[in-house]
Amino acid sequence: MSDIIPTQKQIVGGLAVRNIDDLSRLSAMLAKSGFFADAKEAAQCGVKVLAGMELGFGAIASMVGVHIINGKPSMGANLMAAAVKRSGKYNYRITRHDNDGCTIVFYENGEVIGESTFTRDDAIAAGALDGKNGHTWKKFPRNMMFNRAMSNGVRWYCPDIFAGSVAYTPEELDCEVDEEGNTVDIPVVIDQQPPLMQVQPVHPQDLRVKNIRTLLDYPLDLVKEWLQFQDVKTPSQLEVSQVDELIKTMCLAWAADKTDHPLHAENSYKKHVTSVVGPEFEELEAIKQWMQHVHPPRQVEVKA
């Protein structure tokens, strides 16, 4: 049986999910337990667990805190905060937290990389105080300010902790939530036909290109055009050396307007990416550090 995610660790929270059979048995057990109101079928449980695994969470944390809303994975701000803390690379500090706003300063390797602020004025502009969660905003404004400031900050400054998946809270996807940002009730639509659980494994080269393209914010249309020129539809149809060339092309395009000479970008790419990637150093991390070398982030002064 094929591995679910061959390139990632599959022991999450002490539980090994090695293949589709493991996931199917686990999903059936979770569905039969009856403890999870928004996932009554094994297929729904399997999708939630699989989504949580890709975000780095264990099975129970995924069932409780990860929700699939309109096809998009979402989670409470507390799970986002935990992911930031456990990353080993990122951290955060709350510098303001009151009924009128919340400010969170984000750090990478001990250095400030930016801050995220969400205020009462922002909530009013977004229509949050008059929407379905208006009562929660009025009763627990500090909690709700923190939820929004955290989710914005994670998307802005720490996108790689979720392997390129965009992080949203359920409230941002128009669901009713409690003061912790977790869903109160998600309508579950179940097909009358018994669902067949067929989770297709993601090819490592397809996932590799997707994650790096997301990190670089490289246009998807240009990737498709490059693949079409190679007479293929997906990176997995290419040789590994050709995928290496595609990634190099995306990276150098990103650096084109950030260096004085094209050779400078290419030489630094060889030095900081090509020559260091290996079993002990992941490619995505190498590219992230190379990007900081080519275009250092603007330092944000934190007022005492």
Q: Specify the pLDDT at position 264.
A: 86
3-class secondary-structure state, position 228? helix
**pLDDT, average across residues 235-256:** 91
Contact 15, 59 (CB under 8 A): yes
Q: Does the pLDDT at position 5 exceed 60?
A: no
pLDDT in tens, 156-180: 998 888 766 667 777 777 777 765 6
pLDDT, position 302? 58
C-beta of residue 1 within 8 angstroms of C-beta of residue 21: yes
Give the position of tokens 């190379």: 290
Which distant-in-sequence residues (6+ apart) come within 8 Å of 136 by Cβ?
144, 176, 177, 178, 179
Q: What percent of the chain has pLDDT over 70?
A: 83
Instruction: Provide the 3-class DSSP secondary structure of residue 198.
Output: coil
Flag whether pLDDT at 227 surpasses 60: yes
For 26-47, write each residue's pLDDT tens digit: 888 888 888 887 788 888 888 8
Rounded Cα–Cα distance for residues 171 and 182 (Å) = 8
3-state helix, strand, coil in the chain (%, to 5): 50, 15, 35
Residue 292: closest CA among 109, 161, 115: 109
Joined together, the tokens standing for residue 170 give: 């359920």
pLDDT for the residue 193: 56
> What is residue 300's predicted lDDT score, i.e. its pLDDT?
55
CB atoms within 10 A of CB 138: 10
